[in-house]
């Protein structure tokens, strides 16, 4: 046995499929220190004990969250400390610069949004004033139309009254003339005829 076994070797030792061992290794990476990458990746000898415990807990019916909690109590976790390189420091400065630019853009957008709200309120006020003015003008026009209609109705009524009076007078005159003609006819001066 190697001091730092591969994952397939650990799977054979535990009697589980390679895919199961890979799933367990990806579920609990903090408890399984490694060196190397890809197929050359090797696990710390403690990985045997961790994977045996994982196998026994799953066999006992525990779910992944419960297994993780129990393993963290029983085994030390590995924390990789990464030194910050000069490139990473420049990248962080770039990120900070980008964040500052994003904040500045956000502030500009906020200011633009506030200006747009003010403009919108101004337009709404102007529209409200225009609407009020138009309603007043419409009310005035309606009142003028009503007065004009009343005037026209009064004039038509007066005209009709005068016309009816004239017609009545003409009718009375015609009746008097007819009555006079009939009276004249009754009084003929020639008695024989």
| pLDDT tens for the chain, residues 1 to 193 | 458 999 899 889 999 998 998 898 889 888 888 888 877 889 888 889 999 999 999 999 999 999 889 888 888 876 655 565 677 777 888 888 888 889 889 889 999 999 999 999 999 999 999 999 999 999 999 999 999 999 999 999 999 999 999 999 999 999 999 988 888 777 766 666 5
Query: How distant, in Å, are the alpha carbons of 168, 174, 176, 180 from that of 186?
Result: 27, 18, 15, 10
pTM of the model: 0.40
Rounded Cα distance between 30 and 52, Å, is: 16
Domain 7-74 adopts which CATH fold? Multidrug-efflux Transporter Regulator; Chain: A; Domain 2 (1.10.1660)
Residue 164 structure tokens: 């009816």
């Amino acid at each position: 046995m190697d001091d730092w076994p591969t994952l397939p070797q650990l799977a054979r030792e535990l009697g589980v499929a390679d895919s199961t061992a890979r799933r367990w290794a990806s579920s609990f990476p903090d408890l399984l220190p490694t060196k190397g990458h890809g197929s050359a990746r090797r696990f710390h000898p403690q990985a045997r004990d961790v994977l045996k415990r994982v196998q026994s807990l799953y066999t006992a019916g525990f779910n992944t969250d419960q297994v993780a909690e129990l393993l963290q109590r029983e085994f030390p976790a590995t924390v990789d400390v990464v030194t910050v390189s000069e490139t990473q420091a420049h990248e962080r400065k770039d990120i900070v610069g980008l964040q500052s630019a994003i904040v500045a853009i956000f502030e500009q957008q906020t200011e633009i949004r506030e200006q747009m709200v003010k403009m919108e309120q101004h337009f709404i006020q102007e529209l409200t004033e225009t609407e009020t003015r138009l309603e007043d003008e419409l009310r005035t026009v309606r009142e003028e139309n009503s007065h004009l209609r009343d005037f026209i109705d009064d004039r038509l009524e007066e005209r009709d009254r005068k016309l009816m009076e004239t017609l009545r007078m003409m009718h009375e005159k015609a009746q008097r003339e007819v009555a006079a003609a009939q009276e004249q006819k009754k009084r003929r001066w020639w008695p024989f005829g």
